[in-house]
Structure 1
Amino acid sequence: MNVELSFMLKKMLSVALMPWSIAILLSLLALFFLYRHKIQKAKKYLTISILWVILISWAPFANLALKPLESSYERLENIPENIEYILLLGGDRNNRAWEALRLYHKIPNVKIITSGHSLHDPISDAEKTATKLIESGIPEERVLMQAMAKTTFEEAQHMKERVGEKPFILITAAYHMPRAMKLFKKAGLNPIAAPADFNRPEETGYATVLQSKQLKNTERAWHEYLGILFYKLQGKI
């Protein structure tokens, strides 16, 4: 199968299994049964859909889903010696590059590798982030790009070719770090976790529902758990 097509099919499947997609599917089932004049079944699926939306946008549920991921690794403070590379996964989403800058100024002679593929934009995330780092004062020769990988698994394979078994610092979103670390270690690499973009759970109370932020946090966690499951089924972690 064509690599691009395979990637797109995986993305489509991932979207189809996300919480909001499930809510839409339940609503469509309710409409289907209503059209067939099966009122009780229509009510049943509509009720399930409404309750599901309330659940996935409920702060305690979002916090419960996200906390195990974000608490897996703490902010990197004790930096080992002789680190040659920092890998910045996924471009500069949510100012992730600031963590790379912080660590760059603590590690002599380190190089930053930016990553991030783009299907449609002619300028990849890796290139955009590299430009930002250089504009922030990092010498151009200390910024490398890794723009071909489309998935975290592919990032690990490219990094294996570059560093072998040498330890390096891995920066990504805190909620994505557990999956990334599993993939990189399975590939025989020695990453040192430096999580960024923490979404610290908020004490918003049990009455807090239908919040877009909480829905987004639920979907972030859901996407990670699905990713871990898919990679386990494929034997990649």
Structure 2
Amino acid sequence: MFFLKKLLGALLSPVGLVLVLLLAGVVLMLVGGAPRLARGLLACSLLLFLAFSLPWLPNALLRPLESQVAPLAGFQEAPPRPRPKAIVVLGAGHHVRPGQPPADWLGRAASARLMEALRLRGLAGLSDLPLIFTGDTGRESLPVAEAMKRAALSLGVPEATIVSETAPRDTAEEMTVLSRRLGKSPFVLVTSAAHMPRALRLAEGAGLNPIPAPTDYRLVQASAASWQAWLPSAGNLQRADHALHEWLGLLWLRIKA
């Protein structure tokens, strides 16, 4: 089931959808017999590529995800928040580069999540709380939880305050592990803003009590008056992929419910 979920996620990503339509159109053109359908598929692949590589569609997909939870300013607000038991940082992409600083091993999302956890640790005066990193190896030789731990150590976090949960392969498994470790105790949950709605839904299903701290915002303001807004970019494709992955994840949760 885990492999099937990852395969479907890859096929239904922006690049996957474009490639599927493109290959289907090419095959039909080579086989013959349905030239109109083949041309339609090729045209759809081009239009879909343009839609995902321009800012308008990625923004439309990201906005409702990233606007659901406000950033966590601290723990001095009224009404007062309960004191958390830990700061949990969910894993994200990483690439082990021996000989380079551990912070360079982390992808954009993982790096942003680590920085937000360290920011909250300082601003809220919660430096005594454990940092719990989660995530398995993925396609790397080292689990992302361990990579984030090494990055935190290189930034001066005491090793005694760091916990690595290296077994979970996805968010659902992360919540299962956290449920065993934290129970119903409140904790700060740090993850990407677009990922937060799905993470909170899974946390609720696991009986957890998270205090959301979203980071890694991807929404950008694109003005139609700017000529750059009309240029396709790889960055827009990445943002569309990030958002579509979360929408598919939410859809999967609804199907399973």
TM-score scaled to structure 2, two decimals?
A: 0.84
Match of 2:11 among 11, 16, 24: 16
Contact 2:65/2:195, CA 8 A, preserved across alignment:
yes
Structure 1 partner of 2:83: 82
Letter in 2 for 1:62: P
SS of the equivalent of 1:219 reads helix
Structure 2 partner of 1:97: 114
Larger displacement relative to structure 2 (65-74 or 200-209):
200-209
Residue 210 of structure 1, CA deviation: 2.2
Match of 1:214 among 236, 247, 257: 236
Task: Measure, in 2, the Cα distance between the counterparts of 1:93 and 1:156.
Answer: 22
Structure 1 partner of 2:101: none
Task: Measure, in 2, the Cα distance between the counterparts of 1:120 and 1:57.
Answer: 27
Task: Measure, in 1, the Cα distance between the counterparts of 2:144 and 2:38.
Answer: 45
Match of 2:43 among 43, 47, 50: 47
Task: Measure, in 1, the Cα distance between the counterparts of 2:189 and 2:139.
Answer: 26
Residue 82 of structure 1, CA deviation: 2.1
Larger displacement relative to structure 2 (86-95 or 68-77):
86-95
Task: Measure, in 1, the Cα distance between the counterparts of 2:67 and 2:223.
Answer: 19
Count of residue correspondences: 230
Q: Does structure 1 residue 147 correspond to structure 2 residue 157? A: no
Contact 1:54/1:209, CA 8 A, preserved across alignment:
no
Residue 204 of structure 1, CA deviation: 4.2
Contact 1:117/1:147, CA 8 A, preserved across alignment:
yes
Contact 2:11/2:20, CA 8 A, preserved across alignment:
no
Residue 108 of structure 1, CA deviation: 4.8
Residue 42 of structure 1, CA deviation: 1.9
Contact 2:74/2:120, CA 8 A, preserved across alignment:
no
**Unpaired runs of at least 5, structure 1:** 1-5
Residue 14 of structure 1, CA deviation: 1.0
Contact 1:67/1:201, CA 8 A, preserved across alignment:
no
Contact 1:60/1:205, CA 8 A, preserved across alignment:
no
Larger displacement relative to structure 2 (77-86 or 13-22):
77-86
Runs of 4+ in 1 over 6 A off after TM superposition: none
Residue 81 of structure 1, CA deviation: 4.0
Identity of aligned residues (%): 30
